[in-house]
Amino acid sequence: MSEDPKSIPEFVKSEYLSIGQLASNLGWSIRFIEGLVRGERLPGLQFDGTWYFRRDEVIDWLEQKIQTLDSNRVIELEKRVESSLVKEGIYRRLIAPDRLASRLPDDGIILDADLQTKNDVLRALAALADSTGLVYDREYLLASLFDRETLCSTAMPGGVALCHPRRPIPMAISTQFLCFLRTREPVYFGSDTGEDTSVFFLLCAPDDRSHLYGLAHIARILHHGALDLLKEAATPNAVKQILADFENRIQRSEQGTDTPSLQ
């Protein structure tokens, strides 16, 4: 039985998604989301027996959990967001899956940088992004990166970090883009596993859905085993080729599906 809308406080109706709305947005079942609330501490508000969720809190939680979620759930999330972006004409469907490689500028890649600390890496990523010409406000981007890292580290298992601002920053960037930095020696970046990090992605997006899609897509490529090759890539072109090859591999594994590209 659906809940009487009149009994729901105005702040819940205006600021929160119902569990049904969240399930539809993410492509997950209501039962699965209820399990995440119980087992993975997905933040929500229960009112008269029904769960409601703030969009920004869900996105913060997904950023932290996307690398540890079951890979099938990551695929479901990626596909759901992808479909909505295609439907609205933000993405196009093309045969060649060049989404990631085409969003990684040639001058957005640095290999074997001599950096020693987490702060050094964040400053280097902001400078790298600025060098692409796609950033309007380098200092704002840097402050956003530091803000995100205060929430919790973006370091993931395996010695890789998926850095990004705390929120999409349309006022500071001209389009969605990706940067790639590899340090000469691993750097302590705050991973839960205690291991140091040497491979750093920087994902900048102008909206929540492109942001989540990028996170899910990179996580999926890493799940498929790209990280070891990225650690050994000899040139920036090799980095881009590895990403493109794994996107092709993912596409071939999806029988009867094509993949979109950002316009």
Express each pLDDT in 161-215 by its tens digit. 999 998 778 888 878 899 999 999 999 999 888 999 999 999 998 877 778 778 8
pLDDT at 95 over 50: no
- Compute the distance between CA of residue 250 and CA of residue 220 in angstroms, rounded to an integer: 9
CATH of the domain at 130: 3.40.930.10
10 and 90 together in one domain: no
> Model confidence at 258, in pLDDT bands (50, 70, 90)?
very low
> Model confidence at 223, in pLDDT bands (50, 70, 90)?
confident
The torsion of the CA quartet 132, 79, 154, 134, rounded to 10 degrees, works out to: 10
165 and 217 together in one domain: yes
Residue 70 in domain: no
- Compute the distance between CA of residue 233 and CA of residue 223 in angstroms, rounded to an integer: 18
pLDDT at 92 over 80: no
Task: Evaluate the CA torsion angle 226, 159, 208, 71 in order and state its sign.
Answer: positive
The better pLDDT of the pair 73, 117 is held by 117
Residue 23 in domain: yes
How many domains is the chain built from?
Answer: 2
Express each pLDDT in 32-62 by its tens digit. 888 888 887 888 888 878 899 988 788 778 7
* Domain with 17 in it: 5-65
56 and 79 together in one domain: no
Q: Among 125, 132, 221, which residue's Cα sits nearest to residue 165?
A: 125
247 and 118 together in one domain: yes
